[in-house]
Amino acid sequence: MLIRTGKNGPGHPLPSEITPRAVLEGRRDLMKLMATGVAGAAVASWAVRDARAQAAQVIRPGKLAALAGVRSNVPGAITMEKLTSYQDITTYNNFYEFGTEKSDPAENAHTLKTSPWSVSVEGLIKKPARYTLEDLVKLSAQEDRIYRHRCVEGWSMVIPWVGYSLGELIKKVEPLGGAKYVEFVTLDDPKTMPGVRSDVLDWPYVEGLRMDEAMHPLALLTFGLYGEVLPNQDGAPVRMVVPWKYGFKSGKSLVKIRFTDTQPVTSWNKAAPHEYGFYSNVNPNVDHPRWSQATERRIGEGGLFAKRRKTLMFNGYEPEVGQLYAGMDLRKYF
């Protein structure tokens, strides 16, 4: 069984064991930079930020009792790849509601109040309802999955997410014929989220999927990772994980799931339409206007000097999801 119920199961060193090693590795990177003389301002500040994220103290939130961990039968869900460490997954994050640095969410997201929590499911469906988190967790047969996670800035992780296919919820609420898209709206609370006082994005953070994408079994409504409830910085208490798309398609701390007949206006598409399209499928052949998307850096693999690996089409899930985009020009629909 993959779901671990202990706080520090096999492969889970105590935070006290991890931190000094991580700090050390961060320092080693910096020293190598100095030695090779490539410590340009931009690279050095990147390395310092990375080291800061690594050094953050991780507080583990405890076991995920509700999802007991029945193994998933969804093709493509299980991976043989080496998992990214819990420390890296929880200290190197994007969650702009808590700041724009990778280390900010781990430092600041402790203010997020995740209980009580509810998610409103509404729009073009027969059975609109507000689900408490507890009801949402119990809604489906229990499953566990492992997924790759690839961010648009060129870093990737392998994360044992825990949840169930969003399609399970979608079937329960009975979409009407006109429902063509699903919009995901996340929490916007200036009292607990210091980042939403800035205008870096138009809050709340909104994402969306086409209905067939949302129904794909790999689109996961996610409540935990490594068998434990999601830490706040990873999108507690419930988030989306869409593993064949760039990370920003996976909204964190969801409060509303809305079914629509028009394509949702998503946060990043609104902020920079030429850089971030609605589809955002991981695609090594279509570059971001400011950088190549052909390779990626696996977090935890040797820091700055790790060999970059080739990015796979649809993040490696082409056999599972390729047919969703048959006949589409993926340069136009990026």
Q: Would you say 124 or 193 has its CB closer to ligand MTE?
A: 193
Q: How far is the CB of 273 from ligand MTE (least distance, A)?
A: 16
Does 123 help bind ligand MTE (rule: CB under 6 A)?
no
Does 251 help bind ligand MTE (rule: CB under 6 A)?
yes
| Interacting residues of 42 by C-beta distance below 8 A, sequence separation 6+ | none
Q: How far is the CB of 206 from ligand MTE (least distance, A)?
A: 9
Does 186 help bind ligand MTE (rule: CB under 6 A)?
yes
Query: Contact region for ligand MTE (CB under 6 A) — 46-54, 113-121, 128-136, 243-251?
Result: 243-251
Closest of 159, 233, 167 to residue 195, by C-alpha: 233
Does 266 help bind ligand MTE (rule: CB under 6 A)?
no
CA atoms within 13 Å, Cβ hemisphere of 200 = 13
3-state secondary structure of 158: strand
266: left (phi over 0), alpha (psi -120 to 50) or beta: beta
Task: Find the helix or strand (DSSP H, E) in which 30 lies.
Answer: helix 15-36
Q: Would you say 227 or 247 has its CB closer to ligand MTE?
A: 247
**CB 149, CB 241: distance < 8 Å:** yes
**CB 107, CB 318: distance < 8 Å:** no
Q: How far is the CB of 194 from ligand MTE (least distance, A)?
A: 13
Does 95 help bind ligand MTE (rule: CB under 6 A)?
yes
From the CB of residue 177, how many other CB atoms can be counted at a distance below 10 Å? Answer: 7
Show the site string, 217-236: x = touches ligand MTE by CB under 6 A, - = not: -----------------xx-
Query: Contact region for ligand MTE (CB under 6 A) — 77-85, 92-100, 113-121, 209-217?
Result: 92-100
Beta-ladder partners of 325: none
Show the site string, 148-177: x = touches ligand MTE by CB under 6 A, - = not: -x-x--------------------------
Query: Contact region for ligand MTE (CB under 6 A) — 42-50, 246-254, 276-284, 288-296?
Result: 246-254
**CB 200, CB 96: distance < 8 Å:** yes
Beta strands in 171-214 (DSSP E): 181-186, 206-210
Does 250 help bind ligand MTE (rule: CB under 6 A)?
yes
Query: Contact region for ligand MTE (CB under 6 A) — 60-68, 90-98, 108-116, 307-315?
Result: 90-98
Q: How far is the CB of 140 from ligand MTE (least distance, A)?
A: 21
How far is Cα 317 from Cα 319, in angstroms, rounded to an integer?
6
Does 252 help bind ligand MTE (rule: CB under 6 A)?
yes
| Interacting residues of 302 by C-beta distance below 8 A, sequence separation 6+ | none
Does 314 help bind ligand MTE (rule: CB under 6 A)?
no
**CB 158, CB 143: distance < 8 Å:** no
What tokens does 37 get? 């003389």
Binding footprint of ligand MTE on the chain (CB under 6 A):
93-97, 149, 151, 186, 205, 234-235, 247-248, 250-253
